[in-house]
Amino acid sequence: MGYLVLARKYRPQRFDEIVKQEHITKALANAVTSGRLAHAILLSGPRGTGKTSIARILAKCVNCESGPTAAPCNTCRSCREITTGHAADVFEIDGASNNKVENIRELRENANYMPAHSPYKIYIIDEVHMLSDSAFNALLKILEEPPAHVKFFFATTDPNKIPITILSRCQRHDCRRVDVDSIIKHMALLCEKENIDISTEALTIIAREADGSIRDALSLLDLIITSTTDSIGTELIVDILGGLDRQSLFDMSQAVFKRDAGKIIEIIDRLYDRGQNMIKLFSELLEHFRNLLVVKLGGSTGALSDVSEFELNAMREQIKKIPQIYIHQILDVLFKEEYNIRQSSAPKLSVEMAFIRVIQIQPALSIETLIEKIDVLQKGLTEKLPAENMSYPDRPVQTLDRTLDNASKPVTEPKNQITPDITPDITPDIPPNITPDARDYQPPIAEKKAPGLEVMENKPPEIYEGVPCSNDRNVQIKDEPIEESWKKILTRVASDNPALATCFSDSQLKKISDNQLEILFETNQFNINYANRDKNPSMIQSACSLYFGNDIQVSLSGRLAKSKSGMAQKKEAKLLENETLNHPLVENAMKIFNGKIVEINIL
């Protein structure tokens, strides 16, 4: 007999030999012993996780001469034939090559005949999702009303492609990816049986390359064994598989933490010369920094991606003095660079530049550190302040009443002079910030911009140089452009009613006489209605009277704005379309999905 590869030689023959699928093997064993095994069972999961092996063992369980049993003997005629693949009553069908409706019709005809010498006739269909729609329809009938002597065991890597009508008639079991530690233990056991001298580090590299597949791991191990007659170490594994040794990942992260650009370039060059794929290297490094973050957060080892206990201790030691927020910053930069690296025609250069940007990050201070620094500064400033500057006069300050009645009330002479460092001694009749020379003027109002404009909070309030109040109703309006006066009036209105100021944002103030003004504005119907609502007209009149210093009669004159012409609307729509097409987000979306703009709707 010729040489059998490890994956075939050590194929599981009993449920307890299946690696890391106890949730399935236990359920099926109980179903067999209790006589509750379904007529159709679907096994799904990644490649190399034991789907077909479980189906074969299950066939042995029901057809064993000492069965049905959860532990087949593997010595009777039926068990031996299933092991060698020559069983007369067990049919293994490849769904990828026998996917036509004619194949399923033939299966249905043969299923009606009784088994040759076993209790059941069993059909194992691998990659069942490859069947055509018509083949699934033909299979559906026999799944609805199967003969009592027929069992169907299906295996697939893509259950989503199976019609729901088939899925609903099967008992489904999902196989899981096998973790690295379980693969390492399984390979170590086989190497011991084969008298192969191989290091644990080498097995770890093979297990990671297998990506959760036992079959892939054994195939790689076969390749390594045939490559040398000596003991197998990590150098040989890396040379043959082109894999990434874990020490390089730790060296890279250490160089990043030390901001050593030369070391980073040296590591990338060494891996590139070794034949390492740069995109895969970047993905491995991204996962490595993610694992470092999980360790820093104190997460469980189950949240780590294929990390051994030795590597876990090395990670804890490496990030002992590294702030958590700094690892967050590193991952942010790497995630932003990932797309560029995958699309780059020079991935090695892109990876180098990405990590050069990473080491240029300035580690951010934590909130706790900032609070501590602020407390220290505040404590130092408090200790330096003289005692006399810590007391201030405790006098009530009367707020400004902006009504029209207070506009003509005389302002009382302040008793004390204002100094820059000490709060002034203000009497109840004197508003704050009013000097003795301004007793007949209106108090200043801090300039507040209309909604949507930026407000300069640190800018000192501007004092309007109003005209002294008088009982004469024909006082001249102040000598300044009326447009400037109207802007200042609207600023005052915005402090009390921003919405009203917005209604008059495009309006004009027109002087009719010394004490009569007219406000002209062309806007929509909503703004016209709002300007005439409730006390809004009187508020505008009061603001004008307060600003100019005498009673002003104000009339409002509004009209609906004319709609834009057809040409103007088309021109505006064209500008919006061009702006949309040239927007960076739109360009990136077209680049990512390789798409094109079909239609633009302007709302």
37 located within any domain = yes
> Which segment, 368-372, 461-465, 531-535, is predicted with the most confidence on average?
531-535
pLDDT, residue 23, reads 94
Bond prior to 396 in cis (omega within 30° of 0): no
The pLDDT confidence band at residue 414, using thresholds 50, 70 and 90, is very low
450 located within any domain = yes
The pLDDT confidence band at residue 164, using thresholds 50, 70 and 90, is very high
Q: Residue 261 pLDDT more than 70?
A: yes
pLDDT, residue 568, reads 63
| Pair 574, 503 in one domain | no
Q: Residue 157 pLDDT more than 90?
A: yes
> What is the pLDDT averaged over residues 472-489?
65
Kindly report the CATH number assigned to the domain that includes residue 273.
1.20.272.10
DSSP state letters, 560-603: EPPPPPHHHHHHHHHHHHHHHHT-HHHHHHHHHHT---------
111: its two tokens = 């299923």
Please compute, for residue 423, the number of CA atoms within 13 A of its CA located in the half-sphere on the CB side.
11
Q: What is the rounded CA–CA span in Å between residue 325 and residue 366? A: 7
325: its two tokens = 């927020």
Q: What is the rounded CA–CA span in Å between residue 428 and residue 423? A: 15
pLDDT, residue 276, reads 84
pLDDT, residue 43, reads 96
476 located within any domain = yes
The pLDDT confidence band at residue 460, using thresholds 50, 70 and 90, is very low
| Pair 141, 155 in one domain | yes
| Pair 590, 492 in one domain | no
Going by C-beta distance under 8 Å and a sequence separation of 6 or more, which residues neighbour residue 195?
none
* 398 and 428 Cβ atoms separated by less than 8 Å: yes
pLDDT, residue 479, reads 63
Residue 110 one-letter amino acid:
N
Say how many domains are in the chain. Answer: 4
| Pair 549, 570 in one domain | no
| pLDDT tens track for 270-308 | 888 888 889 988 998 998 999 899 888 886 666 675 676
Q: Residue 416 pLDDT more than 60?
A: no
> What is the pLDDT averaged over residues 210-238?
86
Cα dihedral 197, 200, 206, 209, rounded to 10, equals -170
Task: Between 32 and 572, name the one with better pLDDT.
Answer: 32
pLDDT, residue 478, reads 57
pLDDT, residue 410, reads 46
| Pair 502, 466 in one domain | yes
Q: How much is the mean pLDDT over the chain?
A: 78
pLDDT, residue 120, reads 94
Mean pLDDT is lowest, of 133-137, 140-144, 459-463, 513-517, for 459-463
The pLDDT confidence band at residue 159, using thresholds 50, 70 and 90, is very high
Kindly report the CATH number assigned to the domain that includes residue 147.
3.40.50.300
Sign (positive or negative) of CA dihedral 75, 81, 87, 91: positive
| Pair 122, 249 in one domain | no
Q: Residue 424 pLDDT more than 80?
A: no
> What is the pLDDT averaged over residues 551-580?
70
Q: Could you say which of 127, 154, 176 is where a domain stops?
A: 176
pLDDT, residue 473, reads 39
> Which stretch of DSSP H or E encloses residue 512?
strand 508-513
| Pair 539, 585 in one domain | no
Kindly report the CATH number assigned to the domain that includes residue 460.
3.30.300.180
> What is the percent of the chain where pLDDT is above 90?
37
| Pair 547, 572 in one domain | no
Q: Residue 434 pLDDT more than 50?
A: no
pLDDT, residue 388, reads 43
384 located within any domain = no
CA 55 to chain centre: 39
| Pair 113, 248 in one domain | no
> What is the pLDDT averaged over residues 403-420?
40
Task: Between 488 and 148, name the one with better pLDDT.
Answer: 148
**CB contact burial 302-338 (16+ within 10 A = b; e otherwise):** eebebbbeebeebbeebbeebeeebbeebbebbeebb
Q: Could you say which of 132, 155, 176 is where a domain stops?
A: 176
28 located within any domain = yes
The pLDDT confidence band at residue 11, using thresholds 50, 70 and 90, is very high
Q: Residue 105 pLDDT more than 80?
A: yes
| Pair 546, 464 in one domain | yes
467 located within any domain = yes
pLDDT, residue 525, reads 74
pLDDT, residue 303, reads 64
pLDDT, residue 531, reads 79
pTM over 0.75: no
The pLDDT confidence band at residue 29, using thresholds 50, 70 and 90, is very high
| Pair 168, 252 in one domain | no
| pLDDT tens track for 45-86 | 999 999 999 999 999 999 999 879 999 999 999 999 999 988
| pLDDT tens track for 167-196 | 999 999 999 999 888 999 999 999 999 998
The pLDDT confidence band at residue 123, using thresholds 50, 70 and 90, is very high
Task: Between 379 and 468, name the one with better pLDDT.
Answer: 379
pLDDT, residue 413, reads 42
Q: Residue 160 pLDDT more than 80?
A: yes
| Pair 308, 453 in one domain | no
76 located within any domain = yes
Beta strand spans in 5-144 (E)? 40-44, 90-94, 121-126
> What is the pLDDT averaged over residues 433-450?
41
CA 77 to chain centre: 57
Task: Between 51 and 383, name the one with better pLDDT.
Answer: 51
Domain that holds residue 490: 405-413+444-560
Sheet of 90-94, strand order:
90-94, 121-126, 150-156, 40-44, 171-174
Q: What is the rounded CA–CA span in Å between residue 254 and residue 103? A: 59
DSSP SS3 for 518: strand
> What is the pLDDT averaged over residues 358-365?
80
Q: β-strands 508-513, 516-523: how paired?
A: antiparallel
pLDDT, residue 275, reads 81
pLDDT, residue 454, reads 35
127 located within any domain = yes
